[in-house]
Amino acid sequence: MRLFEAHGALGGVWTNSLLGYLLDFDKPGFNQELVRRLRERDAINGEGMNGLSYQPEEMKVLLEELCADAGVQVQLHTRVTAAQREGRVLRTILTESKSGRQAWRAPVFIDTTGDGDLGAQAGCEFEIGKDAACPCQPMTMYALLVVKDVSALAGLMHAVGNNGQQVGPKTFRDELARAGVKPSYGAACMFPIHGNLVLLMANHEYGINATDAAQVTEATLRARSEVHRIVRALRTLGGPWEGVQIAATPEQIGIRDGRRIKGRYFMTSEDLVTGKRQADAVARATFPVDIHALTAEENKKTPYHGAGVRTQPYDIPLRALIARDVDGLMMAGRCISGDFIAHASYRVTGNAVAMGEAAGATAALAANNKAAPHDVPWSAVQAAIAKMRS
Ligand SMILES: Cc1cc2nc3c(=O)[nH]c(=O)nc-3n(C[C@H](O)[C@H](O)[C@H](O)COP(=O)(O)OP(=O)(O)OC[C@H]3O[C@@H](n4cnc5c(N)ncnc54)[C@H](O)[C@@H]3O)c2cc1C
């Protein structure tokens, strides 16, 4: 098995965008294994399985070790740039890197590019953003900060209070106002990561299309400048902010919204409202709809909202991970098949992990049996996943 990654570390938003927070992780299989292994390294902050902070650096090296143990051939700094089909079947992908242009043949491919690059290159129909004009969810640049004494900032951290309400952001916003800054994200917050390392989430970049490199570049430069401006302003407050430093900003701005490749099943908001059960469920999602303001104007009133959708736990079916228009192609992560609202719930990483586990098992069965992923019986996928977990 080969894995191509455009950046210099595995893990996507987890590592290259310094996400720092695991959501909807209370699931069997690799989700549990990952949390267990991170805990063994003292790289997890928080109890239970949901809403855990982790150290991005530990995540990077853990993922590399896991791939090495599993015999996955990883090639970093390599971007998938084109796809070639024979009829409906995807046969070859092209990559670009320092090694030049390379062609790779395989019996099955899995698009885990987040933005659905491979699905689009292979000619699949897709959706992006809220409608064809791509008002997409905003991008966000995080920053990892080193503070003098994290306990002195406890009252400003994102946390869940005794009544189940989230606390922290309001007090932090007051602190930002005291420093004379008004971040582009109206519900700016901080998360404790480890020791005196904290994560700052204060930036929103509106109206950016993830598939337009010039737009993403402009957003990245503007975002990094804003994050530095905010931290410089906090430093002037002294006290617990004295000497606060940016340990790192990510090389990749966090992208919430990219292409959603049409699959053999299309998930909709209706599935979330009714808590739809699926015979080929690869995961049960529990995270609510989370839509960040699409414009700076909207952010003034509602920095994020749930579109009025009351989500019940619902299933993500394997069919939403199998391309509809091209054979031999699967998807896992946020580029699977679903509408704008459904994506705003299933996209969190606990679900992406479960999708990756199921897509990997299905692709291996398809390759070994010279079959297309959609011809692999669900019972065989279930048995393969159970064996991996035993
Ligand atoms: C700002 C922000 C905050 C979020 N908050 C949370 C949170 O608190 N908790 C949570 O669980 N989830 C959160 N999410 C959602 C979650 O991070 C993403 O939905 C999830 O990471 C999607 O995983 P993915 O693997 O599909 O895509 P990504 O994590 O985007 O990974 C895609 C990978 O593919 C690589 N790639 C892209 N194109 C190519 C190509 N052409 N060739 C080769 N490689 C390529 C990228 O470099 C990247 O490594 C957040 C997302 C953002 C952006």
Name the band, by pLDDT with cuts 50, 70 and 90, for residue 318: very high
Q: What percent of the chain has pLDDT over 70?
A: 98
Q: Over range 328-345, report the average pLDDT.
A: 98
- The residue with tokens 């996400």 is 19
Residue from 13, 121, 137, 259 to probe ligand 1 pocket by mutation (most atoms less than 8 Å from CB)? 13
Encode pLDDT of 112-131 as tens digits: 999 999 999 999 999 999 98
Give the CATH number of domain 138-255. 3.30.70
Output the pLDDT for position 165.
55
Residue from 10, 17, 19 to probe ligand 1 pocket by mutation (most atoms less than 8 Å from CB)? 19
State in Å: Cα 12 to ligand 1 middle: 5
Residue nearest to atom 8 of ligand 1 (CA): 21
Output the pLDDT for position 166.
61
pTM given for the model: 0.96
Q: Is the Cβ–Cβ distance between 32 and 353 less than 8 Å?
A: no
For residue 350, the ligand 1 atom closest to its alpha carbon is 11
Is the pLDDT assigned to residue 163 strictly greater than 60? no
Output the pLDDT for position 49.
72
Q: Over range 204-213, report the average pLDDT.
A: 96
State in Å: Cα 177 to ligand 1 middle: 31
Q: Over range 341-353, report the average pLDDT.
A: 97
CB under 6 Å to ligand 1: residues?
4-7, 12-13, 16, 19, 21-23, 79-80, 112-115, 117, 140, 254-256, 333-335, 347-349, 352
Q: Measure Cα distances from 274 to 171, 307, 310 in Å.
A: 36, 16, 9
State in Å: Cα 166 to ligand 1 middle: 24
Output the pLDDT for position 50.
72
Output the pLDDT for position 294.
96
For residue 140, the ligand 1 atom closest to its alpha carbon is 1
Is the pLDDT assigned to residue 23 strictly greater than 80? yes
Q: Over range 175-190, report the average pLDDT.
A: 96
State in Å: Cα 115 to ligand 1 middle: 9
- Beta strand 329-331 with 109-111 is parallel
Pick from 44, 16, 10, 23: nearest CA to 252: 16
Name the band, by pLDDT with cuts 50, 70 and 90, for residue 13: very high
Is the pLDDT assigned to residue 161 strictly greater than 80? no
Sorted by where each begins, the domain ranges of the chain are 78-131+257-389, 138-255
Kindly report the CA angle at 142 between 137 and 146, in degrees rounded to 5?
165
Mean pLDDT of the chain: 95
Which class for 10: exposed (0-12), middle (13-18), buried (19 or more C-beta within 10 A)? buried
